[in-house]
Amino acid sequence: MIAGRFYPLETRVARWNTSGPEALLHHIHRDLLAHTRGRLNDGAALVALHRRPDNHGQRRHGAIIHSGGFTHTH
């Protein structure tokens, strides 16, 4: 958080709603670093899920594509 402003995750994710899960995490990571001026003083973790239909197309199942914490060193 810089100057009392939390990172606007919902607004930012909407910008990249056509990105795949890995690209989405990359965009958010870069944008979060820009928001905090390159300083992540607290821990951060994000999981991106991709929903796809099963073989019959009747139900949708989630699959974890990528998960992990963001790290940044100076």
Q: What is the pLDDT of residue 51?
A: 75
Number of domains present in the structure of the chain:
1
Per residue in 8-65, pLDDT tens? Answer: 988 888 888 777 888 889 999 999 999 988 888 777 788 887 777 666 655 555 555 5
| Residue 15: inside a domain | yes
Domain range for 30 is 9-69
| Residue 53: inside a domain | yes
Burial of 28 (0-12, 13-18, 19+ CB in 10 A): buried
| Residue 32: inside a domain | yes
| Residue 23: inside a domain | yes
| Residue 2: inside a domain | no
Q: Residue 25's CB: how many other CB atoms inside 10 A?
A: 20
| Residue 13: inside a domain | yes
| Residue 50: inside a domain | yes
| Residue 1: inside a domain | no
